[in-house]
Amino acid sequence: MALSQVDMRDENGVALAVSVLKQRFGERLSQSASLREQHGHTTTWLSNQPPDAVVFAESTEEVSEIVRVCAEHRAPIIAFGTGTSLEGHLNAPYGGVSVDLSRMNRIVAVHAEDLDCVVEPGVTRKQLNAYLHDQGLFFPIDPGADASLGGMAATRASGTNAVRYGTMKDNVLNVTAIMPDGAIVKTAKRAKKTAAGYDLTRLLVGSEGTLGIITELTLRLQGIPQAMSAAVCSFPDIEAACRAVIATIQYGIPVARIELADELQIRACNAYSGLRLAESPALFLEFHGTPASVEEQAKEFGGIAEELGGGDFVWETHEEDRQKLWQARHDAYFAVRGLRPGADVLATDVCVPISRLADCVMETKADLDRLDILAPIVGHAGDGNFHLSVLVDTADAKEVAAVEELLGRLAKRAIAMDGTCTGEHGIGQGKIDYLEAELGSALGVMRTIKAAIDPLNIMNPGKIVRL
């Protein structure tokens, strides 16, 4: 590759860019160690590689200006939303500037009649849903954290509702993005569908800030269903719970959520969130629709569960109780810490065709048992997607090595089942090698695109692909 690319830490260029930006942005640019550390590393277990400076942008034009300065001096740029990504997406291995978008948090427009809205990237999903609630609308995508919508688009986030409503790829109508040369590009209009040229919206969704920085998004919205009902159902073992999920999807029951938790995760949630569930594998479900349709779905699922030994149904139909249940589900990541105080949590995810879900979960549990590693399983089982929250003492090199091998086997297992090494966490730094194993020659096309759009390799370098 050309020497002008960012392929090593270019102290001089970065220092120049930071000094130019400092003059322009004054107090809004900070080089404090704690802020830099916080922007390089939040929930990930990977080593912290802080940027050289953090600048708080307040408009599309400002982001364009920052990118132009960084391009001129070959300084890496890393977009920052809420810092809740899990695979080292925000680390700055070559230094550079973190562009914090959290102040760009205006809801620009809600088109209730078109079921869409326009937001700045720093708006969080909970902020948006609080704003929409009185209009009878909601935005369904819900990764556990209260992430920013720009970050959710950049990482192609999904969550518990994806089984019914899809992922960010299905719910972003267009983005405005700053390209690596500072150009401001809008990828599509607001029509619900389009056949107008290359799908740049979906190229940027999931590109993890390596091709451009999203500064505005148009999102699809949903009407709040007339009726919603949530339930927890316990199963004698994890295989039975998986089989119930598979049957539910195959029978076409339009569940809004169907989440798997193993007995360890249930124990953690009981302790952390004050639930009183039986300590056995369980499914968390939610049904959306008209009152009659919700009742029908619940009845159909009940039949499936019964055949597989499921029972101990806990039903929640009141808004407050439902919210409490789902907050407990979303807090799963934090809850597991209580199982081994002091340990770090290494979160990973894979996704397989649903027919292989039970096999993949069972083989993974056997691997964990063999190594005597504590790692609750929780997952968006309706999509064949599950998470492992591995409790690990990161100071113990031997333990870390064992866990890394375990993760490698998990990724390899999912890929061998025609699945992916990541259903929703993304590649970042942590899964670059698995991506190569998963997609082979397609990586060449990804590299070609990256090199063409970002020839200086300044946009979040060292993530997704190595040039």
Binding to its own copies (CB under 8 A): which residues in 386-415? 414-415
User: Nearest-CA neighbor of 412 among 464, 371, 368, 360?
Assistant: 360
User: Nearest-CA neighbor of 351 among 220, 167, 170, 148?
Assistant: 167
User: Could you say whether residue 114 binds its own copies (CB under 8 A)?
Assistant: yes
CA distance 104 to 59: 7
Q: Which of 422, 429, 457, 460 binds its own copies (CB under 8 A)?
A: 422
**Of 334-363, which residues contact its own copies (CB under 8 A)?**
351-355
User: Could you say whether residue 383 binds its own copies (CB under 8 A)?
Assistant: yes
**Of 435-454, which residues contact its own copies (CB under 8 A)?**
435, 438-446, 448-453
Tokens 């760009």 sit on residue: 104
Of 62 and 349, nearer to its own copies (C-beta) is 349
Q: Which of 243, 328, 425, 461 binds its own copies (CB under 8 A)?
A: 425
Q: Cα-flanking dihedrals φ and ψ of residue 322, to 5°?
A: -60, -45
Smallest separation (angstroms) from its own copies to the CB of 147? 13
**Of 152-181, which residues contact its own copies (CB under 8 A)?**
155-158, 162, 166-167, 169-170, 179
User: Could you say whether residue 290 binds its own copies (CB under 8 A)?
Assistant: yes
Which helix H or strand E contains 405, and what residues bound it? helix 397-416
CB within 8 Å of 43: residues ≥ 6 apart: 83, 84, 85, 86, 145, 333, 347
CB within 8 Å of 199: residues ≥ 6 apart: none
User: Could you say whether residue 251 binds its own copies (CB under 8 A)?
Assistant: yes
Q: Which of 3, 33, 195, 397 binds its own copies (CB under 8 A)?
A: 195
Smallest separation (angstroms) from its own copies to the CB of 435? 5
User: Could you say whether residue 193 binds its own copies (CB under 8 A)?
Assistant: yes
Please give the single-letter amino acid code of residue 39. H
User: Could you say whether residue 198 binds its own copies (CB under 8 A)?
Assistant: yes
The site that binds its own copies (CB under 8 A) totals a number of residues, namely: 92
Tell me the helix, strand and coil percentages in the chain, rounded to 5.
40, 20, 40
Of 192 and 370, nearer to its own copies (C-beta) is 192
**Of 222-241, which residues contact its own copies (CB under 8 A)?**
222-223, 225
Helix (H, G, I), strand (E, B) or coil at 267: helix
From residue 400, alpha-carbon distances to 347, 394, 405 in Å are 13, 6, 9
The answer to whether the beta carbons of residues 233 and 285 sit under 8 Å apart is yes
Helix axes of 357-371 and 397-416: crossing angle, nearest 10 degrees: 160
**Of 41-100, which residues contact its own copies (CB under 8 A)?**
none
Q: Per-residue string for binding with its own copies, 298-337, x by CB under 8 A? A: ----------------------------------------
Of 187 and 280, nearer to its own copies (C-beta) is 187
Instruction: Select from 64-72, 144-152, 188-196, 324-332 the region that touches its own copies (CB under 8 A).
Output: 188-196
The answer to whether the beta carbons of residues 201 and 175 sit under 8 Å apart is yes
Of 15 and 443, nearer to its own copies (C-beta) is 443
Nearest 5 degrees, angle CA 191-CA 195-CA 196? 85
